[in-house]
Amino acid sequence: MKKISVKKQLVDFMIANGNDFRYTDMIKATLRICKGKDYVYRREYDRGFYATNFSSGSSHGYMVNGGGDCGVYKNENGRWSAKYYTKSDKVNYFLNRQINTLSNLVSMERYRYDINMNKISEMERGTRDYTERINYYISEYRNNVDRYKSETRKSILKSILKLG
């Protein structure tokens, strides 16, 4: 028998019980899922339980990151709700993740390119070495971005075909 994940159990519980939870109520439900239905919440010990999994900052926890079949999110009231993701949600999540990765790579490569250009500008202008280095850095930058674009296209296509 396949074990049901904590995430899926919490989503099912939240949907079945109004789907409008305070953070503390979500932690209490998760504690009962993990430690037994009779577990009594103790604020001083339990308030941070599973906290990193619910984080919604720059590095999302797995409960809120948009991956998988389901997850939790902050609703329009500022409280927490849960849902199962549609195929469209999954494709959007995957595409946004790939786009963000590509954007970060381009930014990082641009930063490296700018640093190298600064180093090059310190050299004497007009020398053969200078011209070769500029051409090398430009081609490396383009190759890295083109390679990542190609890999990303293949990966996106593969994921979309899997979902279909």
pLDDT > 70? residue 54? yes
- Among 25, 29, 27, 20, residue whose Cα is nearest residue 81: 20
Token representation of residue 84: 């199962």
What is the pLDDT confidence band of residue 4, given thresholds at 50, 70 and 90? confident
Query: Looking at residue 125, what is its pLDDT?
Result: 52
Note the pLDDT tens digit of each residue in 137-156. 777 887 877 788 888 888 88
Rounded Cα distance between 4 and 93, Å, is: 23
Please determine, for residue 14, whether its predicted confidence score (pLDDT) is greater than 80: yes
Q: Are 109 and 145 in contact (CB under 8 A)?
A: yes
Rg of the chain (C-alpha set): 24
pLDDT at 30: 92
146 in Cβ contact with 140 (< 8 Å): no
- Give which of 113, 112, 116, 103 is closest to 148, Cα–Cα: 103
| The most confident of 13-22, 50-59, 127-136, by mean pLDDT | 13-22
pLDDT, average across residues 4-20:
92
Beta-carbon contacts of residue 149 (< 8 Å; ≥ 6 apart): 102
Kind of pairing between the strands at 70-74 and 80-84 = antiparallel
Q: Summarize pLDDT for 33-44 with one digit per residue, the tens.
A: 999 999 999 988
How many other CB atoms are found less than 10 A from the CB of residue 164? Answer: 7
**Is residue 60 scored above 90 in pLDDT?**
no
Question: Could you report the per-residue pLDDT of 104-141, keeping only the tens digit for each?
Answer: 777 777 777 766 666 666 655 556 666 777 778 777 88
Q: Is pLDDT larger for residue 91 or for residue 29?
A: 29
Q: What is the pLDDT of residues 79-101, one digit of tens each?
A: 999 999 888 888 887 787 788 77
Q: From CA 79, how far away is CA 54, in angstroms rounded?
A: 13
Residue 96: burial class (beta carbons within 10 Å; 0-12, 13-18, 19+):
exposed
User: Is pLDDT at 7 greater than 80 in this prediction?
Assistant: yes
Angle at 22 between CA 59 and CA 14, to 5 degrees: 85
